[in-house]
Chains A and B, each alone.
Chain A
Amino acid sequence: MKPNKVVFSVRDLSISYSAERGRVKAVTNVSFDLHEGETLAFIGESGCGKSTLNLGLLRLLPRAGQIDKGSITYTYRNGRQVDIRALTDRQLKRFLWAECSMVFQGALNSLNPVLRVSDMVYDTARAHNLDRSEAKKRALELFEKVRLEGKRVFTAYPHELSGGMRQRVLLALSLLLKPQVIIMDEPTTAVDILTQRSILEVLKELRRELDFSVIFVSHDLAVAAEIADIVATMYAGEIVEMGPVADVFYRSRHAYTFSLLDAAPRLSAGDQELHSIPGSPPDLIEPPSGCKFHERCRFATDICVSTQPELIAETGRHFAACHHSDRVLATRKEVVQV
């Protein structure tokens, strides 16, 4: 199967924050392509740079953060390309929502309590010169699609909606201007199981009916396993493995992905022997030498301490940055047996 057109192409992107002790290297040399119609999931532990990377993609970083280097190329539906870093503020404002929208981590609780859902719809419409009645019509359609009572929700204040309803409102609003890409940062974290289920089902339905790509951020491997086409594992600000979901899960080639899966309980797996990863994620102000995972890695040897592994293609679209990717793969195959 030939992959579709590339929508986002990111190359050697590095992002840092200024902090008292020095610069926090939150994202380092990240490169990836998001293809049309695909769902790309970033997984990894807290603090590995998932949110920073995605905020950086849309230049929505907080003040302390800055893009140090790299390129972010976006391709419009008509084939025209832009460099996101070169957009003026005005151009960027038009780009957001219309081309790419983002549902932020924690957005659930940060909705402005004095604005009705309808105000949010009209504000967005005004900023993008969309007719009010057209915006309302489209919002009502989208609310029905995410299984909400459109009319009731349209006039509601955030506090009148449950967490799951708010998350679905945000999802619907993110599609208001028919963007090509939506970025969702931990949309199902901190919601209940059945609520998470309804959000996932709604997202899957929307993807079947409408045409857009998704970047999905989650520390929950199970959610990524379910909805991602492509999975990228991040560790200490870097993409350490990336590939089709089945490759990354069943034929893991990076010791970190391997270890994460080895620590993840699965409901239907019966009595499981699991292993946690020793230590904790490294300091991003003075990250370790070589492979940043080496201090916690059961596969590590001298070369891992001295030399940083490069992200190289293993097979097809499957990449890993691990000196011992063959040993990891062999061990993973013993565990999975598929």
Chain B
Amino acid sequence: MIPPLIELNRVYRTFEKDGEVLPVLQDINLQVHPAEILCLVGESGCGKTTTGKIIAGFLDPSQGQVLISGKPQSAYRRSERSKLRRSMQIVHQDPFASLNPAHTIEQILSFPLRRHHMVNGRNELRRKIWELLTLVDLTPPGDIVNKYPHQLSGGQRQRVSIARALTVNPQLIIADEAVSMVDVSIRIGILKMLHRLREEFNLAIVFITHDLALAKYFAWEGRLAVMYLGRIVEIGRTQDIIQNPAHPYTRALLSAVPEADPYVTKKKEPMKLRSDNIPSLNNIPSGCAFNPRCPFYMPGTCDTVVPALSNVSQFGQKVACEPLRLRGELRLYET
């Protein structure tokens, strides 16, 4: 079997802030397989970006292990490491902040191509740049190469960021809210392009978003991980989770999202939570972090036991919830 591209084993990450140690990620277990789409969703501050950075190797875990193609980083020679790192690229939310305003698009794409010796000579460089711009539908490339980032629209800039990520032939792209700042009317075009690139280059894509409808659309054929306060509370095939959410937090999120369909959205019944307050990271509730808000709350259980991810379906849908386990809704398919 081909090992996962990236595997996080019992990964923890803390940050220090004002003398306090914040447990930003706790016990994250996650695999990213070649050419798959994995979507991370959850509310602001739950640790999506931090997880993405650890996957990409931009950030080390405080505890736990990151395996790259089945082996820890230390098992690779130094020269291989920088290559591995390059094979994982992040595309950020704000292309304005990540593209140097003083450089033309041609320069922006030339730097990584030359630095990593991806091309030989001027002609090949030029050909490669045109090829990349065509790949991201910035055509004709001749109209684009001499422009500066501020002369492009938000959507075009994001396409340039994606082209830049592609300069080094990555195996994995982490798209962190990559279309959140792009207008609704042109988002779908960028997502379709990412789908096409995935097929063409066998790219794995970790898609980070707080927009569930967008996650559903983009990762329909892939997997979804729902995070809450630094932990994964549910993970599985996107279709299964959207159609049959198990964790009360996932259910609450899905039932809360308005839909662009007046009859459907007015008929939806949002799940009532016991509290609207999101606990802060320096005061995470004991047991299941969702317990103070959870309608399934069982005193004595949810506030003491940290639930483990267990199977709810034979297709790998896993959920971390003690009440569900005690009701016998989990383990049903455990092998």
Q: Knowing A196-B256, A200-B258, A245-B262 touch, does A267 contact B185 (C-beta < 8 A)?
A: no
Contact A194 B242 (CB under 8 A): no
CB distance from B47 to the nearest CB of A (A): 14
Query: Is the C-beta of A197 less than 8 angstroms from some C-beta in chain B?
Result: yes
A272 touches B217 (CB 8 A): yes
Partner of A280, one of B186, B252, B261, B278: B186
Interface string of B205-237 (1 = CB under 8 A from A): 000001011101100100000000000000000
> Chain B nearest CB: distance from A26 CB in Å?
17
Q: Does B213 contact A265, Cβ atoms closer than 8 Å?
A: yes
Query: What is the 8 Å Cβ interface bit string for chain A, positions 250-275, against chain B (1 contact, 0 not)?
Result: 10000000011101111111011011
B264 within 8 A of A: yes
Partner of A267, one of B155, B190, B192, B254: B254
Please report which residues of chain B, range 172-225, place their CB below 8 angstroms from some CB of chain A when the two chains form the complex.
183-190, 192, 210, 212-214, 216-217, 220
> Are A225 and B188 within 8 A (Cβ)?
no
**CB-CB under 8 A for A260 and B210, given A147-B276, A194-B252, A268-B259:** no
User: Which of B13-21, B64-72, B265-273 lies at the interface with chain A?
Assistant: B265-273
Looking at the complex, which of A107-115, A216-224, A312-320 is the stretch in contact with chain B?
A216-224
B192 and A193 within 8 A (CB): no
Q: Which residues of A contact B153 (CB under 8 A)?
A: 280
**A299 interfacial contact with B, CB 8 Å:** no
- Which 10 interchain pairs have the tightest Cβ spacing? A276-B189, A265-B217, A197-B256, A276-B188, A277-B185, A222-B258, A192-B43, A221-B260, A265-B213, A226-B258
Q: Which B285-308 residues have a C-beta within 8 angstroms of A? A: none
Cβ < 8 Å to B, chain A residues 279-299: 280-281
Knowing A193-B43, A222-B265, A249-B262 are in contact, say whether A164-B276 is a contact too (CB < 8 A). Answer: yes
Within 8 Å CB of B278, what residues of A? 162, 192, 194
24 A-B pairs with CB atoms under 8 Å apart are A162-B277, A193-B257, A194-B43, A194-B276, A194-B278, A201-B270, A222-B213, A222-B257, A222-B265, A226-B262, A226-B265, A250-B262, A259-B185, A264-B184, A266-B264, A267-B212, A267-B254, A267-B259, A268-B264, A275-B188, A277-B186, A280-B155, A280-B183, A280-B186
Asked whether A266 and B213 contact (CB < 8 A) given A192-B44, A225-B262, A245-B262, the answer is yes
| Cα A164 to Cα B185 with chains together (Å) | 27
Cα–Cα, bound, A30→B263 (Å): 29
Closest Cβ of chain B to A55, distance in Å, is: 21
B residues less than 8 Å from A141 (CB atoms): none
CA of A271 to CA of B221, assembled, Å? 9
Chain B residues with CB below 8 A from A249, complex form:
260-262
Does A46 reach chain B (CB closer than 8 Å)? Answer: yes
- Contact partner of B270 (CB less than 8 A), chosen from A46, A197, A220, is A197
Does residue B253 face the partner (Cβ distance < 8 Å to A)? yes
Given A194-B273, A222-B260, A225-B259, decide whether A263 and B187 contact each other with a Cβ distance below 8 A. Answer: yes
Which residues of chain A are within 8 angstroms of B184 by Cβ–Cβ distance?
Answer: 45, 219, 221, 260, 263-264
Distance in Å: Cβ of B18 to nearest Cβ of chain A? 14
Nearest to A248 among chain B residues (CB) is B262
Q: Are B187 and A276 in contact (CB under 8 A)?
A: yes
B278 shortest CB reach to chain A, Å: 7
Q: Which residue of B lies closest to A147 (CB)?
A: B276
B interface residues (Cβ-Cβ under 8 A, vs A): 43-44, 153, 155-156, 183-190, 192, 210, 212-214, 216-217, 220, 242, 252-254, 256-266, 270, 273, 276-278
Note all chain B residues with C-beta closer than 8 A to A46. 183
Flag if B210 contacts A266 (CB, 8 Å). no
Is A29 positioned at the interface, with any CB of B under 8 Å from its CB? no
Residue A246 at the B interface, CB < 8 A? yes
Q: How many Å lie between the Cα of A281 and that of B270 in the bound state?
A: 35
Q: Within 8 Å of chain B (Cβ to Cβ): is A198?
A: yes
Known A245-B262, A267-B254; further 17 A-B contacts with Cβ < 8 A = A46-B183, A194-B273, A194-B276, A198-B276, A225-B259, A226-B258, A259-B185, A263-B188, A265-B217, A266-B261, A267-B212, A268-B259, A271-B220, A276-B186, A276-B187, A280-B155, A280-B156
Instruction: Indicate if the CB atoms of B256 and A276 lie closer than 8 Å.
Output: no
A225/B265 contact (C-beta < 8 A), A193-B212, A197-B256, A272-B217 known: yes
Chain B min CB distance to A258 (Å): 11
A267 touching B220, Cβ below 8 Å: no
Expressed in whole angstroms, the Cα–Cα distance for A338 and B262 within the complex equals 12
Which residue of A has the minimal Cβ distance to B253?
A193
Complex: chain A residue closest to B249, CB-CB? A194
Centre residue among B44, B212, B256, B258 by max chain A CB count within 10 A = B258
Query: CA of A43 to CA of B136 in the docked complex: distance in angstroms?
Result: 29
CB <8 Å contact, A225 and B185: no
A263 touches B44 (CB 8 A): no
- Distance between A165 CB and nearest chain B CB, rounded to angstroms: 9
Bound form: Cα–Cα A14–B257 in Å: 35
Give Cα A225–Cα B257 distance, bound, in whole angstroms. 12
The smallest beta-carbon distance between B295 and chain A, in angstroms, is 13
**Contact (A266, B259) CB under 8 Å given A45-B183, A147-B276, A276-B187:** yes
In whole Å, how far is B109's beta carbon from the nearest beta carbon of chain A?
Answer: 21
Residue of B nearest to A272 (CB): B217
Q: Are B187 and A225 in contact (CB under 8 A)?
A: no
- Give CA–CA (A251, B270) in the complex, Å: 27
CB distance from A2 to the nearest CB of B (A): 22
